[in-house]
Structure 1
Amino acid sequence: MAGLPRLVLDGIAMGESPRWHDGRIWFADWMAGRIVAVDEASGAAEVVVEHASLPLCFDFAPDGTLLVVSSTERALLRRRSDGRLEPLADLAPEGTHPWNDIVVDGRGNAYVNSIGFAFPEGEFAPGFVVLVRPDGTVRRVAEGLAFPNGMAVTADNSTLIVAESYADCLTAYDIAEDGGLSGRRVWASVPGDHPDGITLDADGAAWLADVGSAHCVRVAEGGQVLADVPLDRGAFACILGGTSAPTLYITANAWGPDLTASGGQLLAVGAPAPRAGYPGW
Protein backbone atom coordinates (compact mmCIF):
# COMPACT_ATOMS: atom_id res chain seq x y z
CA MET A 1 0.00 0.00 0.00
CA ALA A 2 1.36 3.43 -0.98
CA GLY A 3 1.15 6.35 1.45
CA LEU A 4 -1.40 9.12 1.49
CA PRO A 5 -1.15 11.59 -1.39
CA ARG A 6 -0.15 15.19 -0.76
CA LEU A 7 -1.55 18.23 -2.53
CA VAL A 8 0.81 19.82 -5.05
CA LEU A 9 -1.59 22.28 -6.72
CA ASP A 10 -5.30 23.01 -6.63
CA GLY A 11 -7.60 25.48 -8.38
CA ILE A 12 -7.44 23.39 -11.56
CA ALA A 13 -10.57 23.28 -13.71
CA MET A 14 -9.93 19.80 -15.14
CA GLY A 15 -6.44 18.32 -14.86
CA GLU A 16 -5.34 15.62 -17.28
CA SER A 17 -2.39 14.22 -19.24
CA PRO A 18 0.41 14.58 -16.63
CA ARG A 19 3.99 14.24 -17.85
CA TRP A 20 7.35 14.41 -16.07
CA HIS A 21 9.86 16.45 -18.07
CA ASP A 22 13.03 18.38 -17.28
CA GLY A 23 12.58 18.31 -13.51
CA ARG A 24 8.98 19.53 -13.58
CA ILE A 25 5.56 17.93 -13.56
CA TRP A 26 3.43 19.06 -16.50
CA PHE A 27 -0.32 18.66 -16.96
CA ALA A 28 -3.14 19.93 -19.16
CA ASP A 29 -6.04 21.89 -17.71
CA TRP A 30 -8.65 20.92 -20.27
CA MET A 31 -11.38 23.35 -19.27
CA ALA A 32 -8.95 26.27 -19.11
CA GLY A 33 -7.22 25.33 -22.38
CA ARG A 34 -3.77 25.38 -20.82
CA ILE A 35 -0.67 23.25 -20.40
CA VAL A 36 1.01 24.00 -17.07
CA ALA A 37 4.44 23.05 -15.70
CA VAL A 38 5.02 22.88 -11.93
CA ASP A 39 8.46 23.00 -10.31
CA GLU A 40 8.89 20.04 -7.97
CA ALA A 41 10.90 21.91 -5.33
CA SER A 42 9.16 25.29 -5.17
CA GLY A 43 5.68 24.40 -6.39
CA ALA A 44 5.78 27.38 -8.76
CA ALA A 45 3.41 26.91 -11.71
CA GLU A 46 4.00 28.25 -15.21
CA VAL A 47 1.46 28.33 -18.03
CA VAL A 48 3.51 27.05 -20.97
CA VAL A 49 0.81 26.73 -23.63
CA GLU A 50 -2.64 28.24 -24.05
CA HIS A 51 -4.69 26.38 -26.63
CA ALA A 52 -8.44 25.75 -26.61
CA SER A 53 -9.11 22.07 -27.31
CA LEU A 54 -11.13 19.45 -25.51
CA PRO A 55 -9.47 16.99 -24.98
CA LEU A 56 -6.00 18.59 -24.80
CA CYS A 57 -3.32 15.89 -24.50
CA PHE A 58 0.43 16.18 -25.08
CA ASP A 59 3.80 14.46 -24.87
CA PHE A 60 7.43 15.18 -25.68
CA ALA A 61 9.58 14.06 -28.61
CA PRO A 62 13.09 12.70 -27.94
CA ASP A 63 14.61 16.14 -28.62
CA GLY A 64 12.29 17.75 -26.06
CA THR A 65 9.82 19.21 -28.55
CA LEU A 66 6.33 19.49 -27.08
CA LEU A 67 3.69 17.71 -29.19
CA VAL A 68 0.04 18.65 -28.62
CA VAL A 69 -3.04 16.76 -29.76
CA SER A 70 -5.61 19.34 -30.82
CA SER A 71 -8.89 17.45 -31.02
CA THR A 72 -10.64 20.65 -32.09
CA GLU A 73 -8.38 21.05 -35.13
CA ARG A 74 -7.99 17.27 -35.63
CA ALA A 75 -4.24 17.78 -35.81
CA LEU A 76 -1.02 16.99 -34.03
CA LEU A 77 0.83 20.23 -33.32
CA ARG A 78 4.40 20.89 -32.29
CA ARG A 79 5.68 23.80 -30.23
CA ARG A 80 8.36 25.90 -31.88
CA SER A 81 11.28 27.45 -29.98
CA ASP A 82 9.42 30.78 -30.00
CA GLY A 83 6.43 29.17 -28.29
CA ARG A 84 4.12 29.08 -31.30
CA LEU A 85 2.26 25.90 -32.21
CA GLU A 86 2.49 24.66 -35.78
CA PRO A 87 0.91 21.64 -37.51
CA LEU A 88 2.95 18.45 -37.65
CA ALA A 89 0.27 16.02 -38.85
CA ASP A 90 -3.29 16.21 -40.17
CA LEU A 91 -5.45 13.69 -38.30
CA ALA A 92 -8.76 14.61 -39.96
CA PRO A 93 -8.60 11.98 -42.75
CA GLU A 94 -8.50 9.24 -40.08
CA GLY A 95 -11.62 10.29 -38.20
CA THR A 96 -13.90 13.11 -37.09
CA HIS A 97 -14.58 12.00 -33.51
CA PRO A 98 -12.55 13.21 -30.51
CA TRP A 99 -8.84 12.52 -30.47
CA ASN A 100 -7.58 11.57 -27.06
CA ASP A 101 -4.20 10.47 -25.67
CA ILE A 102 -0.67 10.42 -27.10
CA VAL A 103 2.58 8.65 -26.28
CA VAL A 104 5.92 9.16 -28.05
CA ASP A 105 8.36 6.25 -28.03
CA GLY A 106 12.14 6.27 -27.92
CA ARG A 107 12.39 6.44 -31.72
CA GLY A 108 10.22 9.54 -32.00
CA ASN A 109 7.11 7.72 -33.19
CA ALA A 110 3.91 9.19 -31.78
CA TYR A 111 0.87 7.02 -31.12
CA VAL A 112 -2.40 8.95 -30.93
CA ASN A 113 -5.80 7.42 -30.24
CA SER A 114 -9.40 8.34 -30.96
CA ILE A 115 -12.30 7.08 -28.87
CA GLY A 116 -14.31 6.60 -32.07
CA PHE A 117 -17.58 8.30 -31.08
CA ALA A 118 -18.94 11.55 -29.70
CA PHE A 119 -18.56 11.25 -25.95
CA PRO A 120 -20.68 11.40 -23.84
CA GLU A 121 -23.83 11.92 -25.88
CA GLY A 122 -23.01 9.74 -28.88
CA GLU A 123 -23.68 6.07 -29.48
CA PHE A 124 -20.69 3.87 -28.70
CA ALA A 125 -18.39 2.87 -31.54
CA PRO A 126 -14.94 1.28 -31.28
CA GLY A 127 -11.86 3.48 -31.27
CA PHE A 128 -8.44 3.17 -32.89
CA VAL A 129 -4.79 4.20 -32.76
CA VAL A 130 -2.77 5.99 -35.44
CA LEU A 131 0.98 6.19 -35.80
CA VAL A 132 2.48 9.60 -36.56
CA ARG A 133 6.05 9.35 -37.78
CA PRO A 134 8.55 12.17 -37.07
CA ASP A 135 8.05 13.40 -40.66
CA GLY A 136 4.31 13.86 -40.03
CA THR A 137 3.02 10.89 -42.01
CA VAL A 138 -0.01 9.19 -40.46
CA ARG A 139 -1.36 5.66 -40.66
CA ARG A 140 -3.83 3.65 -38.66
CA VAL A 141 -2.17 0.80 -36.75
CA ALA A 142 -4.87 -0.56 -34.39
CA GLU A 143 -8.67 -0.72 -34.38
CA GLY A 144 -11.58 -2.16 -32.43
CA LEU A 145 -10.70 -0.66 -29.04
CA ALA A 146 -13.37 -0.06 -26.39
CA PHE A 147 -12.72 3.61 -25.54
CA PRO A 148 -8.92 3.77 -25.85
CA ASN A 149 -7.49 6.06 -23.19
CA GLY A 150 -4.03 6.28 -21.61
CA MET A 151 -1.08 4.69 -23.42
CA ALA A 152 2.49 3.73 -22.56
CA VAL A 153 5.47 2.15 -24.35
CA THR A 154 7.99 -0.14 -22.66
CA ALA A 155 11.59 1.05 -22.29
CA ASP A 156 12.85 -1.25 -25.07
CA ASN A 157 10.29 0.17 -27.54
CA SER A 158 8.87 -3.32 -28.06
CA THR A 159 5.37 -3.01 -26.58
CA LEU A 160 2.55 -0.48 -26.64
CA ILE A 161 0.01 -0.73 -23.82
CA VAL A 162 -3.41 0.89 -24.21
CA ALA A 163 -6.00 1.40 -21.47
CA GLU A 164 -9.39 0.25 -22.74
CA SER A 165 -11.77 2.07 -20.42
CA TYR A 166 -14.91 0.27 -21.54
CA ALA A 167 -13.28 -3.18 -21.52
CA ASP A 168 -11.81 -2.95 -17.98
CA CYS A 169 -8.36 -3.94 -19.17
CA LEU A 170 -4.93 -2.91 -20.39
CA THR A 171 -4.28 -4.16 -23.92
CA ALA A 172 -0.79 -4.76 -25.32
CA TYR A 173 0.63 -4.80 -28.85
CA ASP A 174 4.03 -5.76 -30.23
CA ILE A 175 5.73 -2.84 -31.99
CA ALA A 176 7.45 -3.57 -35.30
CA GLU A 177 10.54 -1.78 -36.60
CA ASP A 178 8.34 0.44 -38.78
CA GLY A 179 6.11 1.33 -35.83
CA GLY A 180 3.28 -1.00 -36.82
CA LEU A 181 1.38 -2.98 -34.19
CA SER A 182 0.54 -6.69 -33.99
CA GLY A 183 -0.02 -9.47 -31.47
CA ARG A 184 -2.91 -7.87 -29.63
CA ARG A 185 -3.45 -9.37 -26.17
CA VAL A 186 -4.78 -8.51 -22.72
CA TRP A 187 -1.85 -7.31 -20.62
CA ALA A 188 -3.93 -7.00 -17.43
CA SER A 189 -7.61 -7.48 -16.72
CA VAL A 190 -8.89 -5.06 -14.04
CA PRO A 191 -12.56 -5.97 -13.43
CA GLY A 192 -14.59 -3.14 -11.98
CA ASP A 193 -12.08 -0.47 -13.00
CA HIS A 194 -12.22 1.66 -16.14
CA PRO A 195 -8.55 2.54 -16.65
CA ASP A 196 -7.81 6.06 -17.83
CA GLY A 197 -4.24 7.42 -17.74
CA ILE A 198 -1.39 4.92 -17.20
CA THR A 199 2.35 4.88 -16.48
CA LEU A 200 4.93 2.05 -16.30
CA ASP A 201 7.59 1.44 -13.66
CA ALA A 202 11.02 -0.17 -13.58
CA ASP A 203 9.70 -3.31 -11.86
CA GLY A 204 7.49 -4.10 -14.86
CA ALA A 205 4.25 -2.95 -13.24
CA ALA A 206 1.72 -0.39 -14.45
CA TRP A 207 -0.12 2.30 -12.53
CA LEU A 208 -3.62 3.12 -13.76
CA ALA A 209 -5.98 5.92 -12.82
CA ASP A 210 -9.70 5.27 -12.53
CA VAL A 211 -12.34 8.00 -12.34
CA GLY A 212 -15.36 6.07 -11.09
CA SER A 213 -13.51 4.14 -8.39
CA ALA A 214 -11.57 7.29 -7.35
CA HIS A 215 -8.19 5.64 -7.00
CA CYS A 216 -4.89 4.80 -8.66
CA VAL A 217 -3.93 1.13 -8.75
CA ARG A 218 -0.56 -0.51 -9.38
CA VAL A 219 -0.93 -3.81 -11.23
CA ALA A 220 1.40 -6.51 -12.47
CA GLU A 221 1.13 -8.02 -15.93
CA GLY A 222 -1.77 -10.43 -15.60
CA GLY A 223 -3.77 -8.13 -13.33
CA GLN A 224 -2.52 -8.76 -9.78
CA VAL A 225 -3.10 -5.63 -7.68
CA LEU A 226 0.14 -4.52 -6.01
CA ALA A 227 -0.91 -1.19 -4.48
CA ASP A 228 -3.98 1.01 -4.21
CA VAL A 229 -4.08 4.79 -3.62
CA PRO A 230 -7.64 5.88 -2.73
CA LEU A 231 -8.71 9.47 -3.41
CA ASP A 232 -11.68 11.65 -2.53
CA ARG A 233 -12.37 12.39 -6.22
CA GLY A 234 -11.87 10.75 -9.59
CA ALA A 235 -8.33 9.82 -10.68
CA PHE A 236 -8.04 10.83 -14.33
CA ALA A 237 -4.38 10.17 -15.08
CA CYS A 238 -1.01 9.54 -13.46
CA ILE A 239 2.70 9.64 -14.23
CA LEU A 240 5.82 8.59 -12.38
CA GLY A 241 8.50 11.22 -11.86
CA GLY A 242 10.54 12.87 -9.12
CA THR A 243 14.21 13.78 -8.83
CA SER A 244 15.14 12.53 -5.36
CA ALA A 245 12.67 9.63 -4.99
CA PRO A 246 10.10 7.87 -7.20
CA THR A 247 6.86 9.84 -7.06
CA LEU A 248 3.47 9.14 -8.57
CA TYR A 249 1.76 12.33 -9.72
CA ILE A 250 -2.01 12.19 -10.14
CA THR A 251 -4.47 14.55 -11.80
CA ALA A 252 -7.76 14.22 -9.89
CA ASN A 253 -11.08 15.93 -10.45
CA ALA A 254 -14.59 15.87 -9.03
CA TRP A 255 -16.75 14.12 -11.65
CA GLY A 256 -20.41 15.03 -11.54
CA PRO A 257 -23.60 13.43 -12.86
CA ASP A 258 -23.72 16.01 -15.66
CA LEU A 259 -20.41 14.56 -16.93
CA THR A 260 -18.40 17.67 -16.15
CA ALA A 261 -15.34 17.97 -13.96
CA SER A 262 -14.41 20.51 -11.32
CA GLY A 263 -12.31 20.74 -8.17
CA GLY A 264 -9.18 19.71 -10.00
CA GLN A 265 -6.03 18.88 -8.06
CA LEU A 266 -2.49 17.76 -8.78
CA LEU A 267 -1.46 15.20 -6.15
CA ALA A 268 1.76 13.32 -5.35
CA VAL A 269 2.52 10.13 -3.45
CA GLY A 270 5.67 8.06 -2.97
CA ALA A 271 6.06 5.06 -5.28
CA PRO A 272 8.05 1.82 -4.85
CA ALA A 273 9.79 2.01 -8.22
CA PRO A 274 10.77 4.74 -10.69
CA ARG A 275 9.26 5.30 -14.09
CA ALA A 276 10.35 3.18 -17.04
CA GLY A 277 9.55 3.59 -20.69
CA TYR A 278 7.36 6.27 -22.18
CA PRO A 279 5.84 8.81 -21.64
CA GLY A 280 9.08 10.02 -20.19
CA TRP A 281 11.72 12.41 -21.46
Structure 2
Amino acid sequence: MTSVLLEGIAFGESPRWHGGRLWFADWLAHEIVAVTPAGQREVVFRADFPTMPMCFDFLDGEPLVVSSEDGLLLRLTESGVKTHADLGGRGFNEIVVAPDGGCYVNGGGFDLMAGEEYRPGSILHVTPSGETRRVAGGIAFGNGMALTPDGATLIVAESYAHRLTAFTVLPDGGLADRRVWADLGDGAPDGIALDASGAVWVSDVPHRSCTRVRAGGEVLDRLEFDHGCFACALSDDTLYLVTQEWRGLDGVGGERTGRVLAHPVEVGRAR
Protein backbone atom coordinates (compact mmCIF):
# COMPACT_ATOMS: atom_id res chain seq x y z
CA MET A 1 0.00 0.00 0.00
CA THR A 2 1.25 3.47 -0.90
CA SER A 3 1.83 5.80 2.06
CA VAL A 4 2.71 9.50 2.43
CA LEU A 5 6.26 9.99 3.69
CA LEU A 6 6.49 13.78 3.44
CA GLU A 7 4.15 16.67 2.58
CA GLY A 8 4.37 20.43 2.11
CA ILE A 9 6.99 20.37 -0.65
CA ALA A 10 7.04 23.41 -2.95
CA PHE A 11 8.24 21.64 -6.13
CA GLY A 12 9.93 18.29 -5.62
CA GLU A 13 12.13 16.63 -8.23
CA SER A 14 15.22 14.46 -8.82
CA PRO A 15 14.85 11.85 -6.03
CA ARG A 16 17.93 9.72 -5.37
CA TRP A 17 18.47 6.90 -2.86
CA HIS A 18 21.81 7.42 -1.13
CA GLY A 19 23.29 6.41 2.20
CA GLY A 20 20.08 4.95 3.58
CA ARG A 21 18.02 8.08 2.88
CA LEU A 22 15.97 9.48 0.03
CA TRP A 23 17.41 12.75 -1.28
CA PHE A 24 15.40 15.10 -3.49
CA ALA A 25 15.51 18.67 -4.76
CA ASP A 26 12.81 21.16 -3.80
CA TRP A 27 13.26 23.56 -6.71
CA LEU A 28 11.11 26.42 -5.45
CA ALA A 29 12.51 26.22 -1.92
CA HIS A 30 16.07 26.21 -3.37
CA GLU A 31 16.90 23.16 -1.26
CA ILE A 32 18.20 19.63 -1.46
CA VAL A 33 16.51 17.57 1.25
CA ALA A 34 17.27 14.12 2.66
CA VAL A 35 14.58 12.10 4.42
CA THR A 36 14.79 8.77 6.25
CA PRO A 37 12.30 5.92 5.68
CA ALA A 38 10.78 7.00 9.00
CA GLY A 39 10.16 10.53 7.71
CA GLN A 40 12.97 12.40 9.50
CA ARG A 41 13.81 15.36 7.24
CA GLU A 42 17.06 17.31 6.87
CA VAL A 43 17.90 20.20 4.54
CA VAL A 44 21.40 19.32 3.35
CA PHE A 45 21.93 22.19 0.89
CA ARG A 46 20.45 25.63 0.19
CA ALA A 47 21.25 27.08 -3.21
CA ASP A 48 22.06 30.72 -3.90
CA PHE A 49 21.61 30.24 -7.65
CA PRO A 50 18.46 29.85 -9.79
CA THR A 51 17.05 26.35 -9.22
CA MET A 52 14.53 25.63 -11.95
CA PRO A 53 15.63 22.93 -12.63
CA MET A 54 18.19 21.65 -10.11
CA CYS A 55 18.74 17.94 -10.70
CA PHE A 56 21.59 16.02 -9.09
CA ASP A 57 23.33 12.67 -8.67
CA PHE A 58 26.25 11.45 -6.58
CA LEU A 59 29.96 11.21 -7.47
CA ASP A 60 32.12 9.59 -4.79
CA GLY A 61 29.42 10.39 -2.23
CA GLU A 62 29.21 14.09 -3.15
CA PRO A 63 26.25 15.60 -5.03
CA LEU A 64 26.83 16.82 -8.58
CA VAL A 65 24.19 19.48 -9.19
CA VAL A 66 22.99 20.89 -12.51
CA SER A 67 22.69 24.67 -12.26
CA SER A 68 20.66 25.04 -15.44
CA GLU A 69 20.37 28.82 -15.47
CA ASP A 70 24.16 29.21 -15.18
CA GLY A 71 24.99 26.31 -17.49
CA LEU A 72 27.23 24.78 -14.85
CA LEU A 73 27.68 21.43 -13.17
CA LEU A 74 28.48 22.04 -9.51
CA ARG A 75 30.02 19.70 -6.94
CA LEU A 76 28.93 20.00 -3.31
CA THR A 77 31.96 19.26 -1.15
CA GLU A 78 32.63 19.54 2.58
CA SER A 79 34.62 22.70 1.88
CA GLY A 80 31.91 24.33 -0.25
CA VAL A 81 30.45 24.47 -3.75
CA LYS A 82 32.91 23.99 -6.62
CA THR A 83 32.44 24.15 -10.39
CA HIS A 84 32.89 20.65 -11.81
CA ALA A 85 32.17 21.50 -15.47
CA ASP A 86 30.94 24.23 -17.78
CA LEU A 87 28.03 22.81 -19.79
CA GLY A 88 28.32 25.49 -22.44
CA GLY A 89 24.75 26.73 -22.40
CA ARG A 90 21.45 26.86 -20.52
CA GLY A 91 18.36 24.65 -20.39
CA PHE A 92 19.94 21.49 -19.01
CA ASN A 93 17.90 19.10 -16.93
CA GLU A 94 18.66 15.56 -15.72
CA ILE A 95 21.96 13.95 -14.74
CA VAL A 96 23.17 10.41 -14.12
CA VAL A 97 26.65 9.44 -12.92
CA ALA A 98 28.41 6.48 -14.57
CA PRO A 99 30.40 3.77 -12.76
CA ASP A 100 33.69 5.26 -14.05
CA GLY A 101 32.96 8.67 -12.53
CA GLY A 102 31.85 10.32 -15.74
CA CYS A 103 28.29 11.50 -16.10
CA TYR A 104 25.57 12.32 -18.62
CA VAL A 105 23.51 15.51 -18.61
CA ASN A 106 20.56 16.11 -20.92
CA GLY A 107 18.82 19.27 -21.99
CA GLY A 108 15.57 20.17 -23.65
CA GLY A 109 17.19 22.42 -26.26
CA PHE A 110 14.94 25.28 -25.12
CA ASP A 111 13.99 27.03 -21.91
CA LEU A 112 10.52 25.76 -21.00
CA MET A 113 10.24 28.00 -17.96
CA ALA A 114 10.93 31.08 -20.11
CA GLY A 115 8.23 30.10 -22.59
CA GLU A 116 10.59 29.41 -25.49
CA GLU A 117 9.39 27.33 -28.44
CA TYR A 118 10.33 23.67 -28.54
CA ARG A 119 13.67 22.65 -30.03
CA PRO A 120 15.22 19.16 -29.87
CA GLY A 121 17.80 18.73 -27.14
CA SER A 122 21.00 16.81 -26.59
CA ILE A 123 22.97 14.65 -24.18
CA LEU A 124 26.39 15.72 -22.92
CA HIS A 125 29.10 13.48 -21.51
CA VAL A 126 31.23 14.96 -18.75
CA THR A 127 34.48 13.20 -17.81
CA PRO A 128 35.56 12.81 -14.17
CA SER A 129 37.91 15.76 -14.72
CA GLY A 130 35.12 17.99 -16.07
CA GLU A 131 35.71 17.84 -19.83
CA THR A 132 32.40 18.13 -21.69
CA ARG A 133 31.25 17.01 -25.13
CA ARG A 134 27.97 16.41 -26.92
CA VAL A 135 27.34 12.69 -27.47
CA ALA A 136 23.73 12.64 -28.77
CA GLY A 137 21.27 15.05 -30.35
CA GLY A 138 17.66 15.10 -31.50
CA ILE A 139 16.35 14.34 -28.01
CA ALA A 140 12.64 15.19 -27.71
CA PHE A 141 12.70 16.91 -24.30
CA GLY A 142 15.08 14.69 -22.37
CA ASN A 143 13.96 13.87 -18.86
CA GLY A 144 14.88 11.00 -16.52
CA MET A 145 17.91 8.84 -17.27
CA ALA A 146 19.23 5.54 -15.96
CA LEU A 147 22.40 3.54 -16.52
CA THR A 148 22.51 -0.23 -16.25
CA PRO A 149 24.79 -1.34 -13.39
CA ASP A 150 27.54 -2.40 -15.79
CA GLY A 151 27.48 1.06 -17.36
CA ALA A 152 26.89 -0.45 -20.80
CA THR A 153 23.43 0.98 -21.58
CA LEU A 154 21.95 4.44 -21.04
CA ILE A 155 18.15 4.73 -20.98
CA VAL A 156 16.63 8.17 -21.54
CA ALA A 157 13.03 9.35 -21.16
CA GLU A 158 11.98 11.47 -24.15
CA SER A 159 8.89 13.24 -22.83
CA TYR A 160 7.75 14.75 -26.13
CA ALA A 161 8.32 11.52 -28.09
CA HIS A 162 6.39 9.30 -25.61
CA ARG A 163 9.17 6.76 -25.35
CA LEU A 164 12.20 5.45 -23.54
CA THR A 165 15.29 5.48 -25.75
CA ALA A 166 18.40 3.37 -25.18
CA PHE A 167 22.01 3.88 -26.22
CA THR A 168 25.03 1.61 -26.05
CA VAL A 169 27.78 3.28 -24.04
CA LEU A 170 31.18 3.23 -25.75
CA PRO A 171 34.49 2.85 -23.87
CA ASP A 172 35.22 6.58 -24.22
CA GLY A 173 31.78 7.57 -22.89
CA GLY A 174 30.27 8.16 -26.33
CA LEU A 175 26.84 6.81 -27.26
CA ALA A 176 25.92 4.53 -30.17
CA ASP A 177 23.20 2.15 -31.40
CA ARG A 178 20.28 4.43 -30.61
CA ARG A 179 17.04 2.45 -30.33
CA VAL A 180 13.53 2.60 -28.86
CA TRP A 181 13.65 0.77 -25.53
CA ALA A 182 9.91 1.13 -24.89
CA ASP A 183 7.12 2.85 -26.83
CA LEU A 184 4.81 4.33 -24.18
CA GLY A 185 1.84 5.12 -26.42
CA ASP A 186 0.43 8.44 -25.19
CA GLY A 187 2.58 8.39 -22.07
CA ALA A 188 4.68 11.43 -21.15
CA PRO A 189 7.72 9.99 -19.33
CA ASP A 190 9.38 12.16 -16.71
CA GLY A 191 11.69 10.72 -14.05
CA ILE A 192 12.58 7.01 -14.24
CA ALA A 193 14.09 4.33 -12.00
CA LEU A 194 15.72 1.06 -13.09
CA ASP A 195 15.10 -2.02 -10.94
CA ALA A 196 17.17 -5.15 -10.36
CA SER A 197 15.23 -7.15 -12.94
CA GLY A 198 16.00 -4.63 -15.69
CA ALA A 199 12.50 -3.16 -15.74
CA VAL A 200 11.96 0.62 -15.49
CA TRP A 201 9.48 2.59 -13.39
CA VAL A 202 8.26 5.59 -15.44
CA SER A 203 6.72 8.71 -13.88
CA ASP A 204 4.02 10.52 -15.83
CA VAL A 205 2.68 13.95 -14.84
CA PRO A 206 -0.42 14.38 -17.07
CA HIS A 207 -1.56 10.79 -16.51
CA ARG A 208 -0.90 11.03 -12.75
CA SER A 209 0.76 7.65 -12.71
CA CYS A 210 3.95 5.63 -12.40
CA THR A 211 4.20 2.55 -14.63
CA ARG A 212 6.66 -0.34 -14.53
CA VAL A 213 7.63 -1.52 -18.01
CA ARG A 214 10.12 -3.97 -19.42
CA ALA A 215 12.18 -3.57 -22.60
CA GLY A 216 9.78 -3.63 -25.55
CA GLY A 217 7.05 -1.78 -23.65
CA GLU A 218 5.18 -4.54 -21.77
CA VAL A 219 3.45 -3.04 -18.73
CA LEU A 220 4.17 -4.97 -15.54
CA ASP A 221 2.54 -2.70 -12.95
CA ARG A 222 0.85 0.69 -12.72
CA LEU A 223 0.23 3.04 -9.80
CA GLU A 224 -2.22 5.96 -10.06
CA PHE A 225 -2.41 9.10 -7.92
CA ASP A 226 -4.48 12.23 -7.38
CA HIS A 227 -1.45 14.42 -8.26
CA GLY A 228 1.01 14.43 -11.16
CA CYS A 229 3.94 12.05 -10.65
CA PHE A 230 7.18 13.85 -11.55
CA ALA A 231 9.91 11.41 -10.57
CA CYS A 232 10.72 8.21 -8.72
CA ALA A 233 13.59 6.36 -7.06
CA LEU A 234 14.13 2.88 -5.66
CA SER A 235 15.72 1.57 -2.49
CA ASP A 236 16.13 -2.15 -1.89
CA ASP A 237 12.46 -2.60 -1.00
CA THR A 238 10.61 0.67 -1.66
CA LEU A 239 9.61 2.80 -4.62
CA TYR A 240 9.67 6.49 -3.67
CA LEU A 241 7.55 8.87 -5.73
CA VAL A 242 7.56 12.66 -5.94
CA THR A 243 4.09 14.00 -6.75
CA GLN A 244 2.40 17.39 -6.83
CA GLU A 245 -0.55 19.16 -8.36
CA TRP A 246 0.35 20.46 -11.83
CA ARG A 247 -1.59 23.41 -13.17
CA GLY A 248 0.87 24.38 -15.91
CA LEU A 249 3.61 26.97 -15.77
CA ASP A 250 1.21 29.69 -14.61
CA GLY A 251 0.47 27.65 -11.48
CA VAL A 252 4.10 27.20 -10.42
CA GLY A 253 4.82 28.82 -7.07
CA GLY A 254 1.40 28.55 -5.48
CA GLU A 255 0.23 26.18 -2.78
CA ARG A 256 2.76 23.62 -1.51
CA THR A 257 1.08 20.46 -2.83
CA GLY A 258 4.24 18.37 -3.21
CA ARG A 259 4.54 14.99 -1.53
CA VAL A 260 6.96 12.11 -1.26
CA LEU A 261 5.13 8.79 -1.34
CA ALA A 262 6.48 5.35 -0.43
CA HIS A 263 5.29 2.14 -2.09
CA PRO A 264 6.68 -1.29 -1.12
CA VAL A 265 8.10 -3.37 -3.99
CA GLU A 266 9.39 -6.92 -4.34
CA VAL A 267 12.12 -5.93 -6.80
CA GLY A 268 14.39 -3.18 -5.56
CA ARG A 269 16.97 -0.92 -7.17
CA ALA A 270 19.48 -2.02 -9.74
CA ARG A 271 23.02 -2.25 -8.35
Q: Give the TM interval when normalised to the shorter protein.
A: over 0.9
Tell whether 2:241 aligns with 1:254: no
Alignment partners' CA distance in 1, 2:132 and 2:224 = 39
For structure 1, which runs of at least 5 residues remain unmatched after alignment?
Answer: none
- Equivalent residue for 1:113, pick from 106, 110, 117: 106
In structure 1, the partner of 2:94 is 101
Residue number in structure 2 paired with 1:17? 14
| Aligned equivalents of 1:148, 1:18: Cα separation in 2 | 17
CA distance in 2, matches of 1:254, 1:117: 24
**Structure 2 equivalent of residue 167 of structure 1:** 161
Q: Per-residue displacement from partner, 1:3-41 (whole Å, max 9, x unpaired)?
A: x32100001001100000000000000111100000123
Q: CA deviation at 1:259?
A: 5.1
- Higher RCO (C-alpha 8 Å, min separation 6): 1
Once the two structures are TM-superposed, the CA of residue 224 in structure 1 deviates from its matched residue by 0.6
Question: In structure 2, what is the equivalent of residue 68 of structure 1?
Answer: 65
> Corresponding residue for 1:220?
214
User: Structure 1: how far apart are the matches of 2:259 and 2:21?
Assistant: 16
- Give, in angstroms, the shift of residue 156 of structure 1: 1.0
Alignment partners' CA distance in 1, 2:123 and 2:195: 23
| CA offsets 1:155-174 (integer angstroms, 9 cap, x no match) | 11100000000000000000
Q: How many angstroms apart in 1 are the aligned matches of 2:251 and 2:136?
A: 28
- TM-score (ref. length: structure 2): 0.95
Displacement of 1:65 in angstroms is: 1.6
Distance (Å, rounded) in 1 between the aligned partners of 2:141 and 2:243: 20
Aligned AA for 1:251? V
Q: Which residue of 2 aligns with 1:85?
A: 81
Q: Distance in 2 between matches of 1:221 and 1:259?
A: 35
Please say if 1:185 is aligned against 2:190: no
The more displaced of 148-157 and 64-73 is: 64-73
Q: Secondary structure at the match of 1:218?
A: strand
> How many Å separate the matches in 2 of 1:130 and 1:217?
27
Deviations for 1:109-149, whole angstroms, at most 9, x for unmatched residues? Answer: 11001100121521110010000111000000010010000
Write the mapping of 1:198-217 to structure 2, written as runs, cut at 5 A. Answer: 198-217=192-211
C-alpha distance in 1 between matches for 2:15 and 2:27: 12
Structure 2 equivalent of residue 240 of structure 1: 234
CA RMSD of aligned residues (A): 1.2
Percent identity over the alignment is 50
Report how many residues are paired.
265
- In 2, Cα distance between equivalents of 1:106 and 1:271: 25
TM-score w.r.t. length of structure 1: 0.92
1:130 equivalent to 2:124? Answer yes
2:45 corresponds to: 49
User: Structure 2 counterpart of 1:260, which letter?
Assistant: V
